[in-house]
Amino acid sequence: MTTTDASGAAQAAAARFREVHDKVKAEVHKAIVGQEEVIDAVLAALFAGGHVLLEGVPGIGKTMLVRAVGDALDLSFSRIQFTPDLMPADVRGTEVLVEAAGGGRDLEFRAGPIVANLVLADEINRATPKTQSAMLEAMQERQVTVGDRTITLDEPYCVMATQNPVEQEGTYPLPEAQLDRFLFKVLVGYPKEADYARILALTTGVEVERPGSVSNAEEVLELRRTVRQVEVGEAAQEHAVRLVMATQPGSPYAPQLVEDSVALGSSPRGAQALILAAKVQALRAGRFAVAPEDVRAVAMPCLRHRVLLSFQGQADGVTADRVVQAVLDAVPLPGAGL
């Protein structure tokens, strides 16, 4: 293939990505008003092959958003309502005793709600750590092990979890190992004033419009392959590495706020998240190559949940977002200021 042919194929792939992304987003908007950045982040996580944690107060449409994505993509969908009494077997599935055809009894495996293309883990921080750990294998290995049985999960597979940041009674903070499995942590804020009229029209009228299916699993997998093929230049990769290292105390790139307030910074998985998310960012912009600006644009949702504040940082009221912003301020774009 000549350089011209390769360039044309890349442009066509980027155009194809934008076409599917935009039609899915338009369909999701039939149920969700506004929240442009949140919808973009959810779709980016799905097309990059990652998981997303949505944090926001009750009643702002987190659950409805995930349902709308499932409807628009015609994926198998399941919802797990996490509660303190939920057990790992309720999530993964278990073997049950059933009547056999000959009159005897057999053990039959009944898959839990974790076996689906799109899994909504609603209020995930309400479950105990033991139950939360049932999600780890599925999120990282794309498989579920129950006894001596291992079930490979069908692709595309994506966990979209929600949690309430305000009500802490009866909740269990997600362990760092599980937080690290999420590509993004997205903060879902209140709607803008101009959006309320449309929200009320959609939710208090006689008819409620639901998103229809405009894509499918095969198309999602096609877009995931496209994302993986996007080129990453040396400057963009170097910028991602330095941003991640700047969250680590003792690093030559770490700003003073990190040294004073952070116990643990991002692992290399944070750099992987930055590159994958930046590839989606580039495709949405119609490019088939990642620029340092793309990496910078996705740094906040990729890194905010990968920063563990020290006791001193918590006592001083420092937030993870403030730390990530300090990192962005301390690590300039390649070539900046020259």
Segment 69-92, tens digit of pLDDT:
888 888 888 888 888 888 888 888
State which of 176, 198, 229 marks the end of a domain.
Answer: 229
113 domain-assigned: no
Asked whether residue 102 carries a pLDDT value surpassing 80, the answer given is: no
Beta strands in 41-173 (DSSP E): 52-55, 77-81, 93-99, 105-111, 118-122, 143-146, 149-152, 158-163
Does residue 189 sit in the same domain as residue 294?
no
Cα 295 to Cα 41, 259, 320: the distances in Å are 14, 23, 18
Asked whether residue 143 carries a pLDDT value surpassing 50, the answer given is: yes
Does residue 182 sit in the same domain as residue 66?
yes
Instruction: Tell me which residue has tokens 């937030």.
Output: 319
Does residue 260 sit in the same domain as residue 331?
yes
State which of 211, 229, 247 marks the end of a domain.
Answer: 229
> What pLDDT shows up at residue 338?
41
Instruction: Tell me which residue has tokens 């599935």.
Output: 93
Lowest mean pLDDT, pick from 5-9, 62-66, 152-156 = 5-9
Domain total of the chain: 2
Does residue 174 sit in the same domain as residue 314?
no
Residue 140, class by beta-carbon neighbours within 10 Å (0-12 exposed, 13-18 middle, 19+ buried)?
Answer: middle
Does residue 265 sit in the same domain as residue 185?
no
Residue 32, class by beta-carbon neighbours within 10 Å (0-12 exposed, 13-18 middle, 19+ buried)?
Answer: buried
What are the beta bridge partners of residue 97? 107
Q: Residue 274 is part of a domain; what is its CATH number?
A: 1.10.8.80
Q: Where are the alpha helices (DSSP H) in 74-159?
A: 88-92, 129-132, 134-141
Mean of the per-residue pLDDT values for the chain? 86
Enclosing domain of residue 247: 231-338
Does residue 216 sit in the same domain as residue 239?
no
State which of 206, 229, 252 marks the end of a domain.
Answer: 229
* CA–CA dist 61, 38 (Å, integer): 11
What are the beta bridge partners of residue 295? none
> What pLDDT shows up at residue 3?
56
